[in-house]
């Protein structure tokens, strides 16, 4: 059984630890995208969707941002199902990736506290209908899988809880093609001839 983290460590520090681990595992850097789904209700020890807390969201955001600034990757924050799990992103990211914009402003009761705080913190926030992220962190079982690239690799961070919320994570990899004779790195040697 996984034990929950000592509550002496701040939510910001817990979040930063998990984000740093996935950033390393997924080789996140400039041009790469991390999707975050977070139930602040779950982090605070309540059932998802019942006790959203902007102050909890701010602490989670601060943890994410401290690592994002260090590594340079982009972040998308998933809204709740009331906004069809749209994602809060900077407009520059939306335009760079050619994402489809959808019209809404997340609030605590429609979008969720995490999306609300993320939206208010960005320079030019907007909502994207969907993304295909290189990695994702799900805090409180919010179901972020629809926003990951197709080949997801489960990742188990050393901290399995942020506050009272279970944490799951994944990074993605390109599909491996070509069968048994294929080479996937320059260090490998090709076996056999291919005419």
Q: What is the DSSP string of the chain?
A: -PPPPPTTS-HHHHHHHHHHHHHHHTT--TT-EEEEEE-HHHHTTS-TTSS--HHHHHHHHHHHHHHHHHH--EEEEE--GGGTT-EEEEHHHHHHHTPPEE----BTTBB-HHHHHHHHHSSSEEEES---BSEEEEESS---GGGB-SSEEEE--S--EETTEEEEEEEE-PPP-SGGG---STTS---S---
Query: What superfamily would CATH give domain 11-181?
Result: Hypothetical protein TT1679 (3.40.50.10360)
- pLDDT at 4 (0 to 100): 46
Assess contact for 113 and 88: CB atoms under 8 A.
no
Q: Which residues are bridge partners to 75 per DSSP? A: 34
- pLDDT at 1 (0 to 100): 32
pLDDT, tens digit (0-9, with 9 covering 90-100), for 1-26: 334 444 578 999 999 999 999 999 99
- Spatial distance between the Cα atoms of 165 and 18, rounded to a whole number of angstroms: 13
- pLDDT at 48 (0 to 100): 92
- Spatial distance between the Cα atoms of 171 and 154, rounded to a whole number of angstroms: 7
pTM above 0.75, yes or no: yes
- pLDDT at 99 (0 to 100): 98
pLDDT in tens, the chain (195 residues): 334 444 578 999 999 999 999 999 999 999 999 999 999 999 999 999 889 899 999 999 999 999 999 999 999 999 999 999 999 999 999 999 999 999 999 999 999 999 999 999 999 999 999 999 999 999 999 999 999 999 999 999 999 999 999 999 999 999 988 887 888 888 876 455 555
- pLDDT at 2 (0 to 100): 38
Assess contact for 138 and 18: CB atoms under 8 A.
no
- pLDDT at 5 (0 to 100): 45
């Amino acid at each position: 059984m996984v034990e929950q983290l000592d509550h002496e460590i701040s939510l910001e520090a817990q979040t930063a630890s998990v984000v740093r681990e996935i950033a390393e595992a997924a080789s996140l850097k400039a041009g790469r995208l991390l999707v975050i789904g977070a139930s602040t209700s779950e982090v605070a020890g309540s059932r998802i969707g019942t006790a959203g807390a902007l102050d909890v969201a701010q602490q989670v955001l601060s943890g994410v941002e401290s690592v994002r600034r260090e590594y340079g990757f982009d972040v998308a924050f998933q809204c709740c199902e009331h906004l069809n799990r749209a994602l809060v992103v900077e407009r520059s990211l939306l335009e760079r990736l050619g994402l489809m914009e959808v019209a809404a402003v997340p609030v605590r009761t429609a979008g969720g506290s995490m999306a609300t705080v993320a939206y208010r913190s960005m320079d030019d926030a907007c909502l994207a209908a969907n993304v295909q992220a290189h990695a994702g962190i799900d805090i409180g079982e919010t179901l972020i899988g629809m926003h990951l690239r197709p080949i997801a690799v489960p990742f188990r961070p050393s901290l399995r809880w942020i506050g009272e919320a279970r944490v799951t994570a994944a990074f993605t990899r390109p599909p491996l093609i070509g069968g048994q004779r294929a080479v996937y790195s320059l260090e490998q040697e090709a076996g056999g001839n291919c005419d």
